[in-house]
């Protein structure tokens, strides 16, 4: 099975997540046997993705893919959270400076492509909360392990934003049209993770993985299977309502989706729909329409096309070319915390296709697009970095 015992020096290096916060690096890298462990290390900020974090992740993943001594990579979060996604306050603080977050966005989406096309097995131990971009980092891993304390949410529309980090490619390819918050085993059942492991076994699982002396996927899967439990969804879970959810979300427009949920909510036994309706109605109208269009387009787009599209949407959103809803959403959620955003446009009927076209429109110069390698050959696989982009040059 390809497993060896771990030296005591290695065992002591597997620090509990809470200890990591004493180290100021945004990402802590450890080399243990044939494995490499990357820990997102911003527990006081819910491991939100910073510019430094995404730069370090890109550098480490490239180094490990090229290193013949590395067989697999493990990613986890320090503290009680895997990752709460992008660093919202950083976006808000840069609102008055054009393209203050351009480098961050470019590096993030470029790394997401490398993550989804990685040549070696990667494993995520996603204990705790994963939101937005955190889900985008978790879901593409070859092996995604969650626990009973895992909570996944994609709240971008509530902030006047859109599902990014490759989620416009990932979400349309999941079974069903689910957009709800998910917990524990629901994350596996929904297709966003591969294994459910009780949290008390997570440390031992990591220890066992790091004793493997090869990177064969069957070997890794066998080790994780020893610790994982079968997933059975409770009838009270939102996943048991997929037929209704799929029917409602199959409608052509956001307005029709809302009307469909309103109709279903009037039927006996459908009280669970009210929180769904409340969440949709509170969200940014333009965020909802951008999200629906992006995910619908993602059904027929390649990963590269989705990431280029997401980069455009993000840059045009940050530039407020039609609305400042993202900044207003962040203000209401985490700055003033009044939970009362003033959306502009204020209602769905005031959001027009011509406005959305401006958000989705390709840049006038191709060099300004996200430069993702077209050729997957080893010699050019890691091309297109920010340093060689038109923005930097």
Which three-class secondary structure string do you get for the chain?
A: CCECCCCHHHHHHCCCHHHHCCCCCCEEEEEECCEEEEEECCHHHCCCECHHHHHHHHHHHHHHHHCCCCCEEEEEECCCEEECCECHHHHHHCCCCCCCCHHHHHHHHHHHHHHHCCCCCEEEEECCEEECHHHHHHCCCCEEEECCCCEEECCHHHHCCCCCCCHHHHHHHCCCCCCCCEECHHHHHCCCCCEECCHHHHHHHHHHHCCECCCCHHHHHHHHHHHCCCCCCCCCCHHHHHHHHHHHHCCCCHHHHHHHHHHHHCCCCCCCHHHHHHHHHHCCHHHHHHHHHHHHHHCCCCHHHHHHHHHHHHHHHHCCCCCCHHHHHHHHHHHCCCCCCCCCCCCHHHCCHHHHHHHHCCCCCHHHCCCCCCCCCCCCCCCCCHHHCCCCC
In which band, very low, low, confident or very high, does the pLDDT at 276 lie, cut at 50, 70 and 90? Answer: confident
Check whether 22 has a pLDDT greater than 90: no
pLDDT band at 12; cut points 50, 70, 90: very low
Confidence grade of residue 2 (pLDDT, cut at 50, 70, 90): very low
Q: What pLDDT, on the 0 to 100 scale, is given for residue 379? A: 56
Torsion of CA 85, 86, 89, 93, to 10 degrees: -170
Least confident of 60-64, 147-151, 191-195, 388-392: 388-392
**Does 195 map to a domain?**
yes
Domain membership of residue 291 (yes or no) is yes
To the nearest whole number, what is the mean pLDDT of the chain?
A: 91
Domain presence at residue 239: no
- At residue 7, the pLDDT reads 44
pLDDT tens profile 198-251: 999 999 999 999 999 899 999 999 999 999 999 988 888 888 898 999 999 999
Does any domain span residue 104? yes
- The pLDDT tens digits of the residues spanning 145-188 come to 999 999 999 999 999 999 999 999 999 998 877 767 899 999 99
Residue 23's pLDDT band (cuts 50, 70, 90): low
The enclosing domain of 78 has a CATH number of 3.90.226.10
Per-residue pLDDT tens digits for 31-69: 999 999 999 999 999 999 999 999 999 999 999 999 999
Q: Does a structural domain hold residue 160?
A: yes
Q: How many domains does the chain have?
A: 1
Does residue 391 belong to any structural domain of this protein? no
10 Å Cβ neighbour count for 277? 14
Give residue 223's domain range. Answer: 27-233+283-375
Strands 27-32 and 35-40: antiparallel
Tell me which residues are annotated as active site.
86, 133, 156, 164
More confident residue, 269 or 146: 146
Please write the tens of the pLDDT for every residue from 308-333. 999 999 999 999 999 999 999 999 99
Residue 10 pLDDT exceeds 50:
no
Residue 5 has pLDDT above 70, yes or no: no
Q: Could you tell me if residue 12 is inside a domain?
A: no
172: in domain: yes
């Amino acid at each position: 099975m390809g497993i060896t015992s771990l030296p005591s020096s290695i065992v002591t290096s597997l620090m509990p997540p809470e200890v990591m916060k004493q180290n100021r690096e945004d990402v802590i890298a450890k080399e243990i046997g044939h494995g490499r462990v990357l820990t997102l290390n911003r527990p006081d900020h819910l491991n939100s993705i910073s510019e430094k974090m995404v730069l370090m992740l890109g550098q480490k993943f490239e180094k490990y893919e090229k290193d013949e001594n590395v067989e697999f990579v493990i990613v986890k979060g320090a503290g009680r959270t895997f990752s709460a996604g992008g660093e919202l306050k950083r976006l808000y603080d840069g609102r008055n400076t054009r393209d203050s977050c351009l480098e961050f966005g470019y590096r993030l989406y470029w790394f997401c492509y490398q993550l989804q096309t990685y040549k070696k097995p990667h494993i995520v131990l996603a204990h705790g909360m994963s939101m937005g971009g955190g889900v985008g980092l978790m879901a593409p891993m070859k092996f995604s392990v969650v626990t009973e304390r895992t909570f996944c949410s994609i709240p971008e529309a509530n902030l006047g934003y859109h599902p990014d980090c490759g989620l416009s490619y990932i979400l349309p390819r999941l079974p069903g049209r689910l957009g709800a918050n998910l917990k524990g085993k629901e994350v596996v059942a929904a297709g966003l993770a591969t294994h459910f492991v009780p949290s008390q076994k997570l440390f031992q699982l990591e220890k066992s993985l790091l004793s493997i002396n090869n990177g064969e996927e069957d070997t890794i899967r066998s080790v994780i299977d020893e610790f994982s439990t079968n997933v059975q969804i409770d009838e009270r879970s939102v996943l048991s309502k997929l037929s209704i959810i799929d029917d409602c979300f199959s409608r052509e427009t956001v307005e029709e989706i809302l009307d469909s949920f309103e109709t279903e909510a009037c039927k006996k036994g459908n009280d669970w729909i009210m929180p769904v309706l409340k969440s949709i109605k509170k969200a940014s109208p333009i965020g909802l329409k951008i999200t629906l269009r992006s995910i619908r387009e993602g059904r027929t787009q390649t990963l590269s096309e989705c990431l280029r599209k997401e980069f455009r949407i993000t840059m045009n959103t940050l530039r407020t070319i039609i609305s400042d809803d993202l900044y207003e959403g962040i203000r209401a959620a985490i700055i003033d915390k009044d939970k009362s955003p003033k959306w502009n446009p204020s209602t769905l009927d005031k959001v027009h296709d011509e406005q959305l076209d401006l958000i989705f429109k390709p840049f006038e110069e191709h060099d300004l697009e996200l430069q993702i390698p077209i050729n997957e050959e080893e010699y050019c696989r890691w091309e297109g970095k920010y340093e060689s982009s038109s923005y930097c040059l």
